[in-house]
Structure 1
Amino acid sequence: MVIAHRYRLEKPLGRGGMGVVWEALDTSLDRKVAVKGLLYPGMAPVTRAQWVSRARREAQAIARIEHQNVVAVHDVIEDGEQVWIVMELLNSRSLADLLSEQQQLTVPHTARIGLQVLRGLKAVHEAGVVHRDVKPHNILFRPDGRALLMDFGIATFEGAVQVTRTHELIGTAQYLAPELLGPAPDGSRAATAASDLWALGITLYEMVEGRRPFEGLTDLEVLVAVRESPVPPMKYAGPLSPLIEALLRKDPARRPDAAEAEQLLQAVTLDSLALDTAVGPGPGPGPVPGHAAGAGSGTD
């Protein structure tokens, strides 16, 4: 199948809540790309229209951002009721893969990866976008070891079309900020930059401690822990502890913003540079097939 007389779909790479990501050939430039298209078999027309709006919103969200630590969008194509998003192809390892292999990372390694993700997230927020699904599965490493934030399938921004129901939880339970678990006075659960930074705090905790701070046998148990339980004491975070604790404050108004968090992470990175010189995801198996921009879990 060829999209827009240019992109030839070759093989599926992953399936998420929004659709299927394909490896494709850009026949005009003779390069491999990732092409994400919707899945809506058997959907009612109204539901299909909502999904098209959400896909268009994803494309708009990513297209607003240009940063070395954020996935790049090459093209957006609308064909009838279908929306195709053409992105750079990233056959690489994710942070989730790395943690599965190594269980936990050193403080310097965590700080350097965290700093790169934070810089990408800062660019996302400066563009007026809220990612809403920051987690290890949505952080990839380029071959040179640079971390990159991907999968904007549930991102939102000012003026975005509302396609979710009132009181609907959007995101992954273990990384949801407590303010997203109870409706605001207008009935909404507004995601903000602060809720993205909470998710980054959970990710940093998981990287350096080898486990997530809030767990449970069910999503409900996890959500109760997020809202009511204090942050479990950290054994290995060392100089990262103050930042992680600050990012995981229950009150979003008391969390540091991206600029302050960046300063704190950079200080840890510089202080520990002589202790650990690893730059990328570290030694381990080669690239893991099947990872491409937009091929995350797509939790809705």
Structure 2
Amino acid sequence: MSENGSEQTGGELIGGRYRLGERLGQGGMGVVRRATDELLGRPVAVKTLALDSGADPGGALREARVVAQIRHPHVIVVHDVVEHDGLPALVMELVDGGSLADRLAAGEVLTPREAARLGLDLLDALSAAHARDVLHRDVKPANVLLEKDTGRAVLTDFGIASLPGATTLSRTGVFIGTPEYTAPERMQGGDAGPASDLWSLGALLCAAATGTSPFRRDSIGAVLHAIVYEEIRPSERMGPLVPVVRGLLERDPDRRLGAAEARRMLAACAAGEPPPVSSYTPTARETVPSAAPGRSARTPGTTTAGDPGAGRRSGRAVPIVAAAVAVCVAVATVAVLRAVQGDPATGAPAAGPGSTSAASTPGRNAPATTPAPASAESDPEAYEYREVTDVRGFTVTVPYGARRSTDGERVIYTTGDGAVRVGIRIRPVPSGGAIGVMRASDASGPTDYPGYRDATVEETTHKGLPAARWEFGWNGFTPAEGARHTVDVCWEQDGTLYDLWASAPVPRAEEGRSALDTALDSFRTTGG
């Protein structure tokens, strides 16, 4: 073993000059090792293919040729291609430092200004590739190396890079890329251009500033659903990065933030300056990409960019082989199409795999009673309510027909018209307690909520327990969403902080308050 615990390879000499050393990393197709170029006396990195990986031997030569076209300080340099065990091996510059993925796995995240500087480096690297008509197609934290002495970011692994117009599936039926960092147009099998790499950069910036991808889910179907369908909202942790991330994660590639504007916005964030005025206008929140022209649906699901649901990381390649896998892909596709086009039986949007309906499995989210929806003669702004038992271990009363979604930390119930949202978050009581949480949220309000205004924070009680209440107005995340009013109440109980909030359009603020009061009065932990 080496001093850092890495496995030694025995000092094998390949290509007549490269002495292999310790293993630096390993992927599905092979390993990367530290090595010494004995002819020039310099350290290098050698990427060798695994004999049983099924990798195309021509892929290494292709990667070398692609990278050779792009001479840029933030793109990995390939020095040589030699033979190892009958397969080509790439000899590359050694970037002495781990990957961004390593840093995130260690529990470290970047500040918004650090993430902005990283984004500028990667944006320049991608622009250099795009100028040569090269798409990277796998921009993710594992493919970003961080040089420990200089902080230089280096984009690596162009193994699946392509020219624009390349198909999403390879000839062997293997998905190309990493699903949770893949743009929706590629997920839907459409044409991909430079804008697809910019989407991946937006997802990477979320991960850099918060610790994980905004689209991480437990299954490929759920990842697909989140990317193509669920509403995307910026995480409060990203601060001044929010505008540029929002623009990069625009689902319509023709309207997505371009490289020039992204560079201006990232440069301002890196310098600690206010974001410049952008020509980018977000797509209306209710509109999502459709598999059929002219079809759209309201979006009850929510993906908070940078605060995703928990789950295992999806792998780089997803083989589509055997009948069972084909069935899974078909089911996921049908779920997405239903989510986009709406449930034909009811005319309402379908919940889909990543956004479980509140009226799903009996005993889990099923209502204790099933009241009829409000009639046409009743107040159009009045809601009927029903009690649901959530899989997170609580029971609460929410508006009838509300759909359940989650971003990992919070459970959100959204009314069928998409207007009113009720959220629940449960966590250990942090330092400062309920009032400390609300005061901190208020302090970051101008950064987290566009047009933040008229805020009040007060210490109170809830059912005799220490509590705090935070109320404010803001502009909404998109012009189509419009001005909103939010009320948030959290309380401490047996070392746990329970946080319930409701958000509604300003003209319907009373509906939001009523929904929150109903949820607060009815909320109890399962069995409580």
Which bin holds the TM-score, normalised by the shorter protein? Answer: 0.7 to 0.9
Shift of 1:79: 7.6
What aligned pairs does 1:57-206 form with structure 2 within 5 A after superposition? 57-77=62-82, 82-142=87-147, 143-157=149-163, 164-165=170-171, 168-184=174-190, 190-206=191-207
Shift of 1:201: 0.2
Seen in structure 2, the aligned counterparts of structure 1 residues 202 and 63 have a Cα distance that, compared at 3 Å, is same
Find the counterpart in structure 1 of residue 249 from structure 2.
248
Report the Cα distance in structure 2 between the residues aligned to 1:168 and 1:97, rounded to whole angstroms: 26
Shift of 1:179: 0.8
Report the Cα distance in structure 1 between the residues aligned to 2:49 and 2:227, rounded to whole angstroms: 32
Pick the structure with more strand per residue. Answer: 2
Once the two structures are superposed, residues 148-174 of structure 1 have per-residue CA deviations (whole angstroms, 9 ceiling, x without a partner) of 111112212369999922764211121
Seen in structure 2, the aligned counterparts of structure 1 residues 267 and 233 have a Cα distance that, compared at 3 Å, is closer
Once the two structures are superposed, residues 50-78 of structure 1 have per-residue CA deviations (whole angstroms, 9 ceiling, x without a partner) of x0122221111111111111111111236
- Contact 2:168–2:175 (Cα < 8 Å) also in 1: no
Amino acid aligned to 1:177 = A
Shift of 1:80: 9.7
Seen in structure 2, the aligned counterparts of structure 1 residues 181 and 69 have a Cα distance that, compared at 3 Å, is same
Seen in structure 2, the aligned counterparts of structure 1 residues 208 and 10 have a Cα distance that, compared at 3 Å, is closer
SS in 1 for 2:254: helix
Amino acid aligned to 1:20 = V
Indicate the RMSD between aligned Cα atoms, in angstroms: 2.8
Amino acid aligned to 1:175 = Y
Shift of 1:144: 1.0
Pick the structure with more helix per residue. Answer: 1
Seen in structure 2, the aligned counterparts of structure 1 residues 21 and 211 have a Cα distance that, compared at 3 Å, is closer
Seen in structure 2, the aligned counterparts of structure 1 residues 192 and 298 have a Cα distance that, compared at 3 Å, is farther
Find the counterpart in structure 1 of residue 417 from structure 2.
none
Seen in structure 2, the aligned counterparts of structure 1 residues 298 and 12 have a Cα distance that, compared at 3 Å, is farther
- Contact 1:76–1:83 (Cα < 8 Å) also in 2: yes
Find the counterpart in structure 2 of residue 232 from structure 1.
233
SS in 2 for 1:253: coil
Find the counterpart in structure 1 of residue 29 from structure 2.
18
Once the two structures are superposed, residues 236-274 of structure 1 have per-residue CA deviations (whole angstroms, 9 ceiling, x without a partner) of 33332121111101111111222221122112222349x
Report the Cα distance in structure 2 between the residues aligned to 1:263 and 1:15, rounded to whole angstroms: 36
Once the two structures are superposed, residues 97-122 of structure 1 have per-residue CA deviations (whole angstroms, 9 ceiling, x without a partner) of 32234454322121111111211121
- Contact 1:122–1:259 (Cα < 8 Å) also in 2: no
Find the counterpart in structure 2 of residue 299 from structure 1.
316
- Contact 1:132–1:191 (Cα < 8 Å) also in 2: no
Number of residue pairs the alignment of both structures matches: 266
Shift of 1:191: 3.8
Report the Cα distance in structure 1 between the residues aligned to 2:99 and 2:131, rounded to whole angstroms: 25
Report the Cα distance in structure 1 between the residues aligned to 2:112 and 2:18, rounded to whole angstroms: 43
Shift of 1:139: 1.1
Percentage of pairs with the same residue: 44
Report the Cα distance in structure 2 between the residues aligned to 1:27 and 1:160, rounded to whole angstroms: 39
Amino acid aligned to 2:238 = A
TM-score after normalising by structure 2: 0.46
- Contact 2:32–2:45 (Cα < 8 Å) also in 1: yes
- Contact 1:111–1:268 (Cα < 8 Å) also in 2: yes
Find the counterpart in structure 2 of residue 220 from structure 1.
221
Report the Cα distance in structure 2 between the residues aligned to 1:259 and 1:33, rounded to whole angstroms: 34
Amino acid aligned to 2:62 = R
- Contact 1:9–1:25 (Cα < 8 Å) also in 2: yes
Seen in structure 2, the aligned counterparts of structure 1 residues 111 and 145 have a Cα distance that, compared at 3 Å, is same
Shift of 1:229: 0.6
Amino acid aligned to 1:5 = G
- Contact 1:38–1:84 (Cα < 8 Å) also in 2: yes
SS in 2 for 1:256: coil
- More relative contact order, 1 or 2 (CA 8 Å, 6+ apart): 1
- Contact 2:165–2:193 (Cα < 8 Å) also in 1: no
SS in 1 for 2:269: helix
TM-score after normalising by structure 1: 0.79
Amino acid aligned to 1:231 = I
Seen in structure 2, the aligned counterparts of structure 1 residues 212 and 232 have a Cα distance that, compared at 3 Å, is farther
SS in 1 for 2:271: helix
Seen in structure 2, the aligned counterparts of structure 1 residues 257 and 81 have a Cα distance that, compared at 3 Å, is farther
Find the counterpart in structure 2 of residue 276 from structure 1.
none
